[in-house]
């Protein structure tokens, strides 16, 4: 039997293979980071930025081609919510983006829209109206002395004072309601953004939007994990389990796996 010599790689092939490994390594690390259980839009942006910056520093053709393809693909899938969360996390001055940035006007409009969804406020753009208690100026009544008999002129001043007191009491206990304009929701958010850019402190509306955006996961990996875990439990043998029982078993499985991992 003839001896078969092992195939030898040329320098060109070896360099090509090395460039492929160098280009795919940051991609693999980024995918692992995106699939973590604690991943959110902030960590996703940080991972994607790291990947694109690493590829841009490589001089190989495959790295540069991969960079352009990934960047165009990310821009198609990335939403404005990531930019808004970046803004609420770092402010307008500290955000370093490799993607296209949206305008401050768009950020305000999106925050207003999210706030209305979270607080179930009126979707109209008209300003809110608030009923306030406003008292009118005292009304002075002039009583002509000519209508009063001569014998009653002594009590005229006393009657005037009593009448004015009764009028004042009525005005104080039953004030006339008046409508007063208060700032609209958009104006409140603009004021909070101005305060946030100066001090770094989020107001109520900005904090609510920030907390909401932090709950968004960047991938569907966790959902796939849940379906996979349910597949181990709901089999042909145990096909009669109801939804509530499957949910409880999946919860217990995840709980005990977490307990075992902590030891």
**pTM of the full predicted structure?**
0.64
pLDDT at 98: 66
pLDDT at 233: 85
Per-residue pLDDT tens for 170-213? 445 445 455 556 678 888 999 999 999 888 889 999 999 999 99
Per-residue pLDDT tens for 16-48? 899 999 899 999 999 989 888 888 888 888 888
DSSP symbols for 120-167 = T-----SPPEEEEEEPPPPPP----GGGS-GGGGGGHHHHHHHHHHHH
pLDDT at 136: 41
Rounded to a whole number of angstroms, the distance between the first and last alpha carbons of the chain is: 56
Question: Using an 8 Å Cβ cutoff, are 136 and 176 in contact?
Answer: yes
Q: Residue for token digits 């104006």? A: 187
pLDDT at 20: 92
CA 43 → CA 47, 56, 114, distances in Å? 6, 20, 21
pLDDT at 125: 46
pLDDT at 62: 92
Low-confidence ranges of the chain (pLDDT < 70): 1-4, 92-98, 121-182, 262-263
* Rounded CA separation 234/146 (Å): 101
pLDDT at 139: 39
116 Cβ contact list (under 8 Å, min separation 6): 122, 123, 185
* Rounded CA separation 16/32 (Å): 24
229 Cβ contact list (under 8 Å, min separation 6): 250, 253, 254
């Amino acid at each position: 039997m003839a001896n078969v010599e092992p195939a030898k790689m040329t320098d060109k092939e070896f360099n090509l293979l090395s460039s492929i490994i160098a280009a795919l390594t940051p991609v693999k690390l980024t995918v692992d980071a995106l699939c973590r259980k604690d991943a959110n839009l902030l960590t996703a942006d940080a991972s994607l930025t790291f990947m694109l910056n690493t590829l841009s520093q490589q001089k190989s053709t495959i790295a540069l081609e991969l960079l352009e393809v990934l960047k165009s693909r990310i821009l198609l899938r990335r939403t404005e919510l990531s930019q808004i969360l970046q803004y609420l996390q770092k402010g307008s001055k500290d955000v370093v983006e490799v993607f296209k940035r949206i305008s401050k006007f768009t950020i305000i409009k999106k925050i207003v829209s999210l706030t209305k969804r979270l607080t179930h406020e009126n979707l109209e753009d008209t300003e809110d109206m608030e009923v306030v208690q406003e008292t009118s100026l005292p009304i002075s009544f002039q009583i002509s002395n000519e209508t009063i008999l001569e014998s009653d002129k002594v009590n005229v001043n006393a009657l005037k004072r009593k009448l004015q007191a009764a009028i004042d009491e009525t005005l104080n206990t039953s004030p006339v309601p008046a409508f007063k304009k208060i700032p609209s929701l958009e104006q409140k958010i603009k004021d909070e953004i101005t305060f946030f850019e100066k001090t770094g402190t989020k107001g109520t509306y900005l904090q609510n939007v920030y907390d909401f955006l932090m709950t968004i996961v960047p991938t569907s990996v966790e959902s796939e994990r849940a379906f996979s875990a349910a597949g181990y439990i709901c089999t042909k043998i145990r096909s009669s389990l109801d939804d509530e029982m499957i949910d409880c078993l999946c919860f217990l499985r995840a709980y005990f796996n977490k307990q075992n991992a902590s030891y």
